[in-house]
Amino acid sequence: MIIERRRAPRQSWERSPWRIAGFIAFIALAIVALVVQLVQVQIVQGQRYRAAALENQVRLIQVAAPRGMIYGRDGRVLVRSRPSFVVGLIPSEVTDINGELATLAHTLGVSEEKLHYRLLHHRGVNYKDFDEVQVYEPYGPVVLASDLPVATVARLSERMRDLPGVDLEVQPIRDYPLGATGAAVFGYVGQITEQEYNRLKHEGYSPNDVIGKDGLEYVYDTYLRGVPGGQRVVVDAQGQVVPSIKLPSRAAIPGDTLVTNIDGRLEQIAQQALDEGIRKVSHHKDLAGAVVIEDPWTGGILALASYPEFNPNAFADDDYKQVAKYLLDPSDPLFDSAIGAATPTGSTFKMVTGTAALSEGVIKPHEVVYDSGHWDCGGDVLYDLLGGLGRTSFVPALAASSDGYFYQLSWRLGIKRLTKWAHLFGIGSKTGIDLPGENAGNWPTNAWELKNFGVPMEPSETCMLGIGQGAMQATPLQIANIASAVINGGTLYRPQVAHEIRTPQGRVIKTFHPEIIRRIPARRDALKYERLGMAEVTDPGGTAYGLKIKDLPYSGKTGTAETGINGSGANTTWFVAWAPTSHPVMAMAVFVWHSGGYGATVAAPIARQIMIKYFHKSSAYAQ
């Protein structure tokens, strides 16, 4: 049987109109989307993209913004910026560096060596040669000379066509009209270093910035610095400036204004009195000292002076010789003794011991005790070099600063309660003042002495600490703050230099209100009798007898801290004061390191002179 195999008929392909329509629609949509995107890029956002592309070719040759002004509480200008003619170099535009430096040296009247040094050593970076400068800082500007006199500017202007890359412009220079006065508060400025730039560049800082290095200039730099302006230039693919394209300059935006609690007149009085007082007793020795004056009702810092001082204009003007002297001076004038020097405070600490004893009830204000001039402190007999007062009570014992009486109070308190009150008044903790470099001071514990000396605390140390001797340490700022708390009824404020920040147009953008650290749980009568005892310091029997001021009753407490082994070193002297006694407007601490003498003979006369001048009183001694 023959079987026939039939093949299935081949079906011809037919064009589906739906498939063709779908394909055409897809292509149409893609073309429309592409056209829309092109329109968006070329027309709608064309200007933005063109600007962005151009910006990639634009560089800013910076001109510094004027830093913000710093004012005192009375509206007095304390720190400002002044215009200065400077010569800057734009490395990428220079064709003959040696020839141009020679011409500049001749025109400016300086040596080529000095210009070469400034070219290769600036902003904390040392370059090997000019080629390195061109690579790492092609657009600079590298400032070669500043503060040019008008005659020099005129001569240089005539030569500018022959000096490609040399730029003559007016830049703001920081100016401190009070000179060295207030330097411990204001600080100083300087060119940003490579390390500082790496740390701050994410905050918008540039390698050309001048920044605050210390003091208020450092703490409030982000407000004071402003926004740099300058000349905008176009560069080609090789990074070279295209001279044929001129772009408008960018205006600099001045920094914000800082208004402080500082009384400019009082600051000058305090610095002058401190300088003169220390020079009288220095006998050509390197001494140090400080004055802190505070508003006892707010914690605002009215004046803060440190000795030896420095002139911040030397840093602003790039006076390398003077800056080098400051840096190499063994007396360390850049150190702020007002907030950084922590030493035993002598009898000024009796403000704490007395308040603690009365508040804890270990002594009553009118309780009569016998002061023999010595006391057995746990087996060690401690003596008062001035002898005892005999039968006495709190107020006269405080006015006379009797060590024998306060040995007894300290022993009755014990180390635990004495430590508690020292900490309540802020010893061993930073106050949080808005200045860098504050020292927390020290209050020793058994663990601390084991760690540092390898032996436990002796029982007698309780008595020594109670009169401000031993291993306790406090700064002048801390002692002034303690005095404020005694005055105002027990409120420990955070000291504050800044009052408010304003825009250059005067709009307030930040206000610093009084800030309370803590309210000290002292009994009201304890602080009352503390104030009564300090009000008698200039009366007969008081340690500052003979230092009264006519028509200005003031309160005070002397302090003399022994130094060296068994007191063999020169004494460090202290004086705490407030005035007027009935309604204090200032609390003051004066400190002179290793001055010799006593608080009544060294530190107290400085405080007295400050009060005489500030309150316009006679310098004649009144009894």
pLDDT tens readout for residues 234-252: 655 555 556 656 666 777 7
Q: What is the pLDDT of residues 504-562, one digit of tens each?
A: 999 999 999 999 999 999 999 999 999 999 999 999 999 999 999 999 999 999 999 99
Segment 211-239 mean pLDDT = 82
- Amino acid identity, position 496: Q
Can you list the positions of beta strands (E) in 106-225? Answer: 121-122, 125-126, 142-145, 166-175, 189-191, 210-212
> Could you tell me if residue 576 is inside a domain?
yes
Tokens linked to 187 = 């600080």
The structural domain count of the chain equals 1
Length of the chain: 623
Handedness of CA 312, 315, 317, 322 (dihedral sign): positive
Would you state the pLDDT for residue 14? 57
Note down the domain range covering 286.
264-622
Q: What is the pLDDT of residues 21-71, one digit of tens each?
A: 777 777 877 787 777 776 665 666 656 655 555 555 665 556 678 999 999
Residue that is written with structure tokens 């080529």 in the block? 112
> Could you tell me if residue 250 is inside a domain?
no
Packed helices 476-488 and 524-535: angle between N→C axes, nearest 10 degrees: 110
> Could you tell me if residue 125 is inside a domain?
no
CB 482 within 8 A of CB 352: yes
Q: 378 phi and psi, to 5 degrees?
A: 65, 35
Candidates 221, 208, 40, 52; CA nearest to 138 is: 208
Q: Is it the case that residue 495 has pLDDT exceeding 60? A: yes
Q: What is the pLDDT of residues 262-298, one digit of tens each?
A: 999 999 999 999 999 999 998 888 999 999 999 999 9
Can you list the positions of beta strands (E) in 475-585? Answer: 491-493, 498-502, 508-511, 516-519, 548-549, 555-561, 572-579
CA distances from 501 to 58, 72, 200, 212, 303 (A): 34, 12, 22, 16, 19
> Could you tell me if residue 46 is inside a domain?
no
Candidates 394, 386, 350; CA nearest to 368 is: 394
Cα(94)–Cα(126) distance, integer angstroms? 20
CB 564 within 8 A of CB 604: no
Residue that is written with structure tokens 């022994």 in the block? 562
Is 332 exposed, middle or buried, given 0-12, 13-18 or 19+ CB atoms closer than 10 A? Answer: middle
Question: Domain containing 616 — which CATH number?
Answer: 3.40.710.10
> Could you tell me if residue 429 is inside a domain?
yes
Residue that is written with structure tokens 């914690």 in the block? 299
Segment 204-210 mean pLDDT = 83
Segment 5-22 mean pLDDT = 59
> Could you tell me if residue 540 is inside a domain?
yes
> Could you tell me if residue 244 is inside a domain?
no
CB 531 within 8 A of CB 555: yes
Instruction: Centre a 10 Å sphere on the Cβ of residue 601 and count the other Cβ atoms it contains.
Output: 17
Q: What is residue 218's DSSP assignment?
A: H
CB 574 within 8 A of CB 482: no
Would you state the pLDDT for residue 238? 54
> Could you tell me if residue 277 is inside a domain?
yes
Candidates 350, 459, 328, 348; CA nearest to 406 is: 350
Q: Is it the case that residue 604 has pLDDT exceeding 60? A: yes
CB 100 within 8 A of CB 163: yes
Would you state the pLDDT for residue 1? 43
